[in-house]
Amino acid sequence: MKLQRMNRRALALGALAVSGALALTACGSDETGNPDGGSSNAAAPSNIKCDDASGQVLSDGSSAQKNAVDAWVKQFSAACQVEINYKAGGSGAGVTAFTQGQVPWAGSDSALKPDEVAASKKICSGGQGIDLPMVGGPIAVGYNVPGVDKLVLDSATIAKIFDSKITNWNDPAIAKLNPDAKLPNLKIQAFHRSDESGTTDNFTKYLIATAKKDFPYEGGKAWQAKGGQSAPQSSGVAAQVKQTAGAIGYFELSYAKDGIKTVAIDTGADKPVDATVENATKAISEAKVVGTGKDLALELNYGTKADGAYPMVLVTYEIVCDKGNKKETLPAVKAFLRYAASEDGQKILAENDYAPMPEEIITKVRTTVESLS
Protein backbone atom coordinates (compact mmCIF):
# COMPACT_ATOMS: atom_id res chain seq x y z
CA MET A 1 0.00 0.00 0.00
CA LYS A 2 2.83 2.37 0.90
CA LEU A 3 4.54 1.60 -2.43
CA GLN A 4 1.31 2.32 -4.34
CA ARG A 5 0.99 5.72 -2.61
CA MET A 6 4.59 6.56 -3.52
CA ASN A 7 3.98 5.60 -7.17
CA ARG A 8 0.85 7.72 -7.33
CA ARG A 9 2.73 10.68 -5.82
CA ALA A 10 5.56 10.31 -8.36
CA LEU A 11 3.11 10.22 -11.24
CA ALA A 12 1.38 13.35 -9.96
CA LEU A 13 4.65 15.24 -9.60
CA GLY A 14 5.67 14.16 -13.10
CA ALA A 15 2.40 15.36 -14.57
CA LEU A 16 2.75 18.67 -12.73
CA ALA A 17 6.25 19.15 -14.10
CA VAL A 18 5.10 18.44 -17.65
CA SER A 19 2.10 20.77 -17.39
CA GLY A 20 4.31 23.49 -15.92
CA ALA A 21 6.76 23.16 -18.79
CA LEU A 22 3.92 23.34 -21.29
CA ALA A 23 2.55 26.46 -19.60
CA LEU A 24 5.94 28.14 -19.76
CA THR A 25 6.24 27.24 -23.44
CA ALA A 26 2.78 28.61 -24.23
CA CYS A 27 3.03 31.81 -22.19
CA GLY A 28 6.72 32.63 -22.17
CA SER A 29 9.25 33.41 -24.84
CA ASP A 30 10.54 30.92 -27.35
CA GLU A 31 14.16 30.28 -28.17
CA THR A 32 14.21 33.38 -30.37
CA GLY A 33 13.45 35.63 -27.41
CA ASN A 34 10.06 36.58 -28.86
CA PRO A 35 7.81 37.29 -25.83
CA ASP A 36 4.74 36.35 -27.86
CA GLY A 37 6.07 32.89 -28.47
CA GLY A 38 6.15 33.46 -32.24
CA SER A 39 8.63 31.74 -34.50
CA SER A 40 10.24 34.91 -35.79
CA ASN A 41 13.46 33.16 -36.78
CA ALA A 42 11.51 30.59 -38.76
CA ALA A 43 9.68 33.36 -40.58
CA ALA A 44 12.80 35.35 -41.41
CA PRO A 45 14.08 34.89 -44.97
CA SER A 46 17.18 32.72 -44.88
CA ASN A 47 18.95 34.76 -47.56
CA ILE A 48 19.19 38.05 -45.61
CA LYS A 49 22.83 39.14 -45.84
CA CYS A 50 23.88 40.69 -42.53
CA ASP A 51 27.56 41.32 -43.33
CA ASP A 52 29.13 42.97 -40.26
CA ALA A 53 25.86 44.65 -39.21
CA SER A 54 25.38 45.02 -35.48
CA GLY A 55 24.21 47.40 -32.79
CA GLN A 56 21.41 49.94 -32.98
CA VAL A 57 20.32 52.22 -35.82
CA LEU A 58 18.09 55.24 -35.21
CA SER A 59 15.97 56.67 -37.99
CA ASP A 60 13.04 59.02 -38.50
CA GLY A 61 10.69 60.17 -41.23
CA SER A 62 7.60 59.24 -43.19
CA SER A 63 4.75 57.90 -41.08
CA ALA A 64 3.13 56.62 -44.28
CA GLN A 65 5.75 53.88 -44.55
CA LYS A 66 5.80 52.99 -40.83
CA ASN A 67 3.84 49.77 -41.27
CA ALA A 68 6.18 48.73 -44.06
CA VAL A 69 9.28 49.49 -41.98
CA ASP A 70 7.80 47.57 -39.04
CA ALA A 71 7.34 44.53 -41.28
CA TRP A 72 10.90 44.82 -42.60
CA VAL A 73 12.37 45.28 -39.13
CA LYS A 74 10.61 42.18 -37.82
CA GLN A 75 12.23 40.04 -40.50
CA PHE A 76 15.61 41.77 -40.57
CA SER A 77 16.12 41.83 -36.80
CA ALA A 78 15.24 38.14 -36.59
CA ALA A 79 18.12 37.37 -38.96
CA CYS A 80 20.68 40.02 -37.97
CA GLN A 81 21.79 41.28 -34.56
CA VAL A 82 20.63 44.82 -35.29
CA GLU A 83 18.01 46.94 -33.56
CA ILE A 84 16.28 49.35 -35.96
CA ASN A 85 14.45 52.16 -34.19
CA TYR A 86 12.27 54.05 -36.70
CA LYS A 87 10.51 57.03 -35.10
CA ALA A 88 8.09 57.85 -37.97
CA GLY A 89 7.74 61.49 -36.94
CA GLY A 90 6.84 62.61 -40.48
CA SER A 91 8.80 63.31 -43.65
CA GLY A 92 9.76 66.83 -42.61
CA ALA A 93 11.15 65.65 -39.28
CA GLY A 94 13.03 62.85 -41.00
CA VAL A 95 14.74 65.07 -43.56
CA THR A 96 15.70 67.56 -40.84
CA ALA A 97 17.13 64.80 -38.65
CA PHE A 98 19.13 63.49 -41.60
CA THR A 99 20.55 66.83 -42.75
CA GLN A 100 21.52 67.63 -39.15
CA GLY A 101 23.39 64.35 -38.84
CA GLN A 102 21.10 62.92 -36.17
CA VAL A 103 20.20 59.78 -38.14
CA PRO A 104 22.12 57.83 -40.84
CA TRP A 105 19.03 57.39 -43.02
CA ALA A 106 15.54 58.83 -43.15
CA GLY A 107 12.23 58.20 -44.89
CA SER A 108 10.48 60.88 -46.92
CA ASP A 109 7.45 60.83 -49.20
CA SER A 110 9.01 63.69 -51.16
CA ALA A 111 12.41 63.81 -52.84
CA LEU A 112 15.08 66.08 -51.40
CA LYS A 113 14.89 69.72 -52.48
CA PRO A 114 18.02 71.56 -53.69
CA ASP A 115 18.54 73.32 -50.35
CA GLU A 116 18.18 69.99 -48.52
CA VAL A 117 20.75 68.39 -50.83
CA ALA A 118 23.10 71.29 -50.09
CA ALA A 119 22.59 70.82 -46.35
CA SER A 120 23.26 67.07 -46.65
CA LYS A 121 26.74 67.72 -48.07
CA LYS A 122 27.79 68.97 -44.64
CA ILE A 123 27.18 65.55 -43.07
CA CYS A 124 27.96 63.32 -46.08
CA SER A 125 31.74 63.58 -46.23
CA GLY A 126 32.63 63.89 -49.91
CA GLY A 127 29.09 63.03 -50.99
CA GLN A 128 25.46 64.07 -50.64
CA GLY A 129 22.04 62.80 -49.72
CA ILE A 130 20.25 60.74 -52.39
CA ASP A 131 16.69 59.48 -52.82
CA LEU A 132 16.06 55.73 -53.08
CA PRO A 133 12.41 54.94 -53.99
CA MET A 134 11.56 51.92 -51.87
CA VAL A 135 7.87 51.98 -50.92
CA GLY A 136 4.86 52.83 -53.05
CA GLY A 137 1.18 53.01 -52.35
CA PRO A 138 -2.11 54.76 -52.85
CA ILE A 139 -3.06 57.74 -50.74
CA ALA A 140 -6.50 56.67 -49.64
CA VAL A 141 -9.26 59.19 -49.00
CA GLY A 142 -11.09 57.68 -46.08
CA TYR A 143 -14.57 58.78 -45.02
CA ASN A 144 -17.14 58.19 -42.29
CA VAL A 145 -20.63 58.88 -43.60
CA PRO A 146 -23.37 56.79 -41.95
CA GLY A 147 -25.38 54.82 -44.49
CA VAL A 148 -22.95 55.40 -47.37
CA ASP A 149 -20.95 52.26 -48.14
CA LYS A 150 -19.64 53.36 -51.55
CA LEU A 151 -18.54 56.84 -52.50
CA VAL A 152 -17.14 58.25 -55.75
CA LEU A 153 -15.40 61.62 -55.95
CA ASP A 154 -13.37 63.37 -58.63
CA SER A 155 -10.37 65.61 -58.08
CA ALA A 156 -12.35 68.86 -58.34
CA THR A 157 -14.83 67.73 -55.69
CA ILE A 158 -12.05 66.50 -53.39
CA ALA A 159 -10.28 69.85 -53.80
CA LYS A 160 -13.42 71.80 -52.91
CA ILE A 161 -14.09 69.61 -49.87
CA PHE A 162 -10.59 70.11 -48.47
CA ASP A 163 -10.68 73.84 -49.22
CA SER A 164 -14.01 74.28 -47.39
CA LYS A 165 -15.91 75.13 -50.58
CA ILE A 166 -18.14 72.08 -50.21
CA THR A 167 -19.26 71.74 -46.59
CA ASN A 168 -22.17 69.27 -46.53
CA TRP A 169 -22.44 65.65 -47.61
CA ASN A 170 -25.65 66.15 -49.61
CA ASP A 171 -24.05 68.85 -51.76
CA PRO A 172 -25.22 68.65 -55.40
CA ALA A 173 -21.66 68.06 -56.67
CA ILE A 174 -21.31 64.94 -54.50
CA ALA A 175 -24.85 63.79 -55.31
CA LYS A 176 -24.15 64.02 -59.06
CA LEU A 177 -21.23 61.61 -58.72
CA ASN A 178 -23.25 59.27 -56.47
CA PRO A 179 -26.80 59.08 -57.88
CA ASP A 180 -27.63 55.85 -56.03
CA ALA A 181 -26.30 56.89 -52.61
CA LYS A 182 -28.49 58.21 -49.81
CA LEU A 183 -26.36 61.17 -48.82
CA PRO A 184 -27.30 62.62 -45.42
CA ASN A 185 -27.73 66.26 -44.50
CA LEU A 186 -24.51 66.12 -42.49
CA LYS A 187 -21.66 68.58 -42.09
CA ILE A 188 -18.35 67.54 -43.62
CA GLN A 189 -15.46 67.30 -41.16
CA ALA A 190 -12.29 67.42 -43.29
CA PHE A 191 -9.06 66.37 -41.58
CA HIS A 192 -5.55 67.15 -42.80
CA ARG A 193 -2.08 66.62 -41.35
CA SER A 194 -0.87 69.01 -38.65
CA ASP A 195 2.80 68.10 -39.15
CA GLU A 196 4.94 68.58 -42.23
CA SER A 197 4.18 65.55 -44.32
CA GLY A 198 5.17 63.98 -47.61
CA THR A 199 1.68 62.51 -47.72
CA THR A 200 0.30 66.06 -47.73
CA ASP A 201 2.84 67.01 -50.40
CA ASN A 202 1.76 64.20 -52.73
CA PHE A 203 -1.95 64.62 -51.96
CA THR A 204 -1.79 68.30 -52.88
CA LYS A 205 0.42 67.62 -55.92
CA TYR A 206 -2.38 65.43 -57.24
CA LEU A 207 -4.99 68.15 -56.64
CA ILE A 208 -2.79 70.86 -58.18
CA ALA A 209 -2.06 68.70 -61.23
CA THR A 210 -5.68 67.75 -61.86
CA ALA A 211 -7.83 70.50 -60.28
CA LYS A 212 -5.66 73.62 -60.11
CA LYS A 213 -8.67 75.90 -60.56
CA ASP A 214 -10.29 74.49 -57.43
CA PHE A 215 -7.08 74.14 -55.40
CA PRO A 216 -5.07 77.35 -56.01
CA TYR A 217 -2.13 76.61 -53.73
CA GLU A 218 1.59 75.99 -54.20
CA GLY A 219 1.54 72.71 -52.29
CA GLY A 220 4.32 71.31 -50.13
CA LYS A 221 4.69 69.35 -46.92
CA ALA A 222 2.77 71.92 -44.84
CA TRP A 223 -1.01 72.19 -45.27
CA GLN A 224 -2.08 75.42 -46.98
CA ALA A 225 -5.80 75.20 -47.77
CA LYS A 226 -8.47 76.95 -45.75
CA GLY A 227 -10.48 75.52 -42.88
CA GLY A 228 -10.69 71.91 -41.86
CA GLN A 229 -9.22 70.23 -38.80
CA SER A 230 -5.80 68.74 -38.26
CA ALA A 231 -4.23 65.70 -36.64
CA PRO A 232 -0.63 64.51 -36.39
CA GLN A 233 0.71 61.78 -38.68
CA SER A 234 -1.25 59.33 -40.82
CA SER A 235 -2.38 57.36 -37.78
CA GLY A 236 -3.83 60.49 -36.19
CA VAL A 237 -5.85 61.46 -39.27
CA ALA A 238 -7.14 57.90 -39.66
CA ALA A 239 -8.18 57.81 -35.99
CA GLN A 240 -10.15 61.05 -36.37
CA VAL A 241 -11.92 59.78 -39.48
CA LYS A 242 -12.86 56.55 -37.73
CA GLN A 243 -14.38 58.24 -34.68
CA THR A 244 -16.01 61.30 -36.27
CA ALA A 245 -19.33 61.10 -38.12
CA GLY A 246 -19.11 63.14 -41.32
CA ALA A 247 -15.32 62.97 -41.41
CA ILE A 248 -13.03 62.66 -44.42
CA GLY A 249 -9.24 62.55 -44.50
CA TYR A 250 -6.23 61.33 -46.46
CA PHE A 251 -3.62 58.76 -45.44
CA GLU A 252 -1.68 55.81 -46.80
CA LEU A 253 -3.88 52.79 -47.58
CA SER A 254 -2.40 50.65 -44.80
CA TYR A 255 -4.08 53.00 -42.27
CA ALA A 256 -7.54 52.42 -43.76
CA LYS A 257 -8.33 49.70 -41.24
CA ASP A 258 -11.08 48.71 -38.82
CA GLY A 259 -14.02 49.61 -41.04
CA ILE A 260 -12.73 52.86 -42.57
CA LYS A 261 -14.21 53.11 -46.07
CA THR A 262 -12.26 54.64 -48.95
CA VAL A 263 -13.26 56.80 -51.90
CA ALA A 264 -13.14 55.57 -55.51
CA ILE A 265 -11.80 58.28 -57.82
CA ASP A 266 -13.44 59.28 -61.09
CA THR A 267 -10.33 59.92 -63.19
CA GLY A 268 -12.06 60.04 -66.56
CA ALA A 269 -11.35 56.34 -67.16
CA ASP A 270 -14.13 53.93 -68.10
CA LYS A 271 -15.07 53.51 -64.44
CA PRO A 272 -14.03 54.95 -61.05
CA VAL A 273 -10.78 53.53 -59.68
CA ASP A 274 -10.50 52.06 -56.19
CA ALA A 275 -7.54 52.62 -53.88
CA THR A 276 -5.77 49.26 -54.12
CA VAL A 277 -2.15 48.14 -54.22
CA GLU A 278 -2.53 46.79 -57.74
CA ASN A 279 -4.11 50.00 -59.04
CA ALA A 280 -1.38 52.10 -57.40
CA THR A 281 1.39 49.97 -58.90
CA LYS A 282 -0.13 50.51 -62.34
CA ALA A 283 0.05 54.29 -61.85
CA ILE A 284 3.59 54.19 -60.41
CA SER A 285 4.76 52.19 -63.43
CA GLU A 286 4.29 55.39 -65.46
CA ALA A 287 6.83 57.26 -63.28
CA LYS A 288 10.10 58.55 -64.73
CA VAL A 289 13.47 58.77 -62.97
CA VAL A 290 14.43 62.46 -62.94
CA GLY A 291 17.25 62.35 -60.38
CA THR A 292 20.85 62.70 -61.53
CA GLY A 293 23.83 60.55 -60.64
CA LYS A 294 22.91 58.02 -57.99
CA ASP A 295 19.80 59.98 -57.02
CA LEU A 296 16.65 58.12 -58.12
CA ALA A 297 13.96 60.74 -57.53
CA LEU A 298 10.82 60.03 -59.59
CA GLU A 299 8.32 62.13 -61.46
CA LEU A 300 4.84 60.67 -61.02
CA ASN A 301 2.01 60.99 -63.53
CA TYR A 302 -0.81 62.25 -61.30
CA GLY A 303 -3.02 62.96 -64.30
CA THR A 304 -3.15 59.42 -65.67
CA LYS A 305 -6.51 58.31 -67.04
CA ALA A 306 -5.47 54.73 -67.75
CA ASP A 307 -8.10 52.18 -66.84
CA GLY A 308 -7.40 50.71 -63.41
CA ALA A 309 -4.64 53.22 -62.56
CA TYR A 310 -5.16 54.91 -59.18
CA PRO A 311 -3.47 58.31 -59.61
CA MET A 312 -3.29 59.57 -56.03
CA VAL A 313 -0.09 57.76 -55.12
CA LEU A 314 3.05 58.43 -53.18
CA VAL A 315 6.51 56.96 -53.25
CA THR A 316 8.53 56.92 -50.06
CA TYR A 317 12.26 57.43 -50.47
CA GLU A 318 14.90 56.13 -48.13
CA ILE A 319 17.38 59.01 -47.91
CA VAL A 320 21.02 58.18 -47.32
CA CYS A 321 24.48 59.52 -48.19
CA ASP A 322 25.88 58.19 -51.45
CA LYS A 323 29.37 58.68 -49.97
CA GLY A 324 30.63 59.62 -46.56
CA ASN A 325 28.28 57.50 -44.46
CA LYS A 326 29.27 57.03 -40.82
CA LYS A 327 31.50 53.96 -40.53
CA GLU A 328 29.85 52.75 -37.33
CA THR A 329 26.36 52.53 -38.87
CA LEU A 330 27.08 51.93 -42.58
CA PRO A 331 27.13 48.08 -42.40
CA ALA A 332 23.74 47.97 -40.65
CA VAL A 333 22.12 50.62 -42.85
CA LYS A 334 23.42 49.00 -46.02
CA ALA A 335 22.28 45.52 -44.95
CA PHE A 336 18.83 46.79 -43.99
CA LEU A 337 18.31 48.72 -47.23
CA ARG A 338 19.60 45.74 -49.22
CA TYR A 339 16.93 43.57 -47.61
CA ALA A 340 14.19 46.20 -48.08
CA ALA A 341 14.98 46.40 -51.81
CA SER A 342 15.25 42.64 -52.21
CA GLU A 343 12.59 40.43 -53.75
CA ASP A 344 11.57 39.25 -50.28
CA GLY A 345 11.48 42.78 -48.89
CA GLN A 346 9.34 44.05 -51.74
CA LYS A 347 7.02 41.05 -51.48
CA ILE A 348 6.24 42.00 -47.89
CA LEU A 349 4.97 45.38 -49.10
CA ALA A 350 2.05 43.88 -51.01
CA GLU A 351 1.16 41.79 -47.97
CA ASN A 352 0.83 45.01 -45.95
CA ASP A 353 -1.22 47.16 -48.38
CA TYR A 354 1.80 48.84 -49.99
CA ALA A 355 2.81 48.83 -53.64
CA PRO A 356 6.16 47.25 -54.55
CA MET A 357 8.38 49.30 -56.82
CA PRO A 358 8.27 48.40 -60.53
CA GLU A 359 11.12 46.07 -61.47
CA GLU A 360 13.00 48.59 -63.63
CA ILE A 361 13.10 51.04 -60.69
CA ILE A 362 13.93 48.63 -57.85
CA THR A 363 16.76 47.11 -59.92
CA LYS A 364 18.44 50.53 -59.99
CA VAL A 365 17.86 50.89 -56.25
CA ARG A 366 19.60 47.57 -55.56
CA THR A 367 22.63 48.60 -57.58
CA THR A 368 22.84 51.93 -55.77
CA VAL A 369 22.57 50.35 -52.32
CA GLU A 370 25.55 48.13 -53.07
CA SER A 371 27.61 51.20 -54.02
CA LEU A 372 27.00 53.09 -50.76
CA SER A 373 30.24 53.95 -48.99
- Give 120-160 pLDDT, tens digit per residue: 999 999 999 999 999 999 999 999 999 999 999 999 999 99
Instruction: Say what the pLDDT of residue 237 is.
Output: 97
Burial class (CB in 10 A: 0-12, 13-18, 19+), 221: buried
Question: Rounded mean pLDDT of the chain?
Answer: 88
Name the stretches of the chain with pLDDT < 70: 1-46
Q: Residues 159-174: pLDDT tens digits? A: 999 999 999 999 999 9
Instruction: Say what the pLDDT of residue 37 is.
Output: 34
Burial class (CB in 10 A: 0-12, 13-18, 19+), 228: middle
Instruction: Say what the pLDDT of residue 54 is.
Output: 87
- If one counts every other C-beta atom within 10 angstroms of the C-beta of residue 46, the result is 8
Q: Residues 244-276: pLDDT tens digits? A: 999 999 999 989 988 899 999 999 999 999 999
Please, are residues 62 and 255 in contact by the beta-carbon 8 Å criterion? no
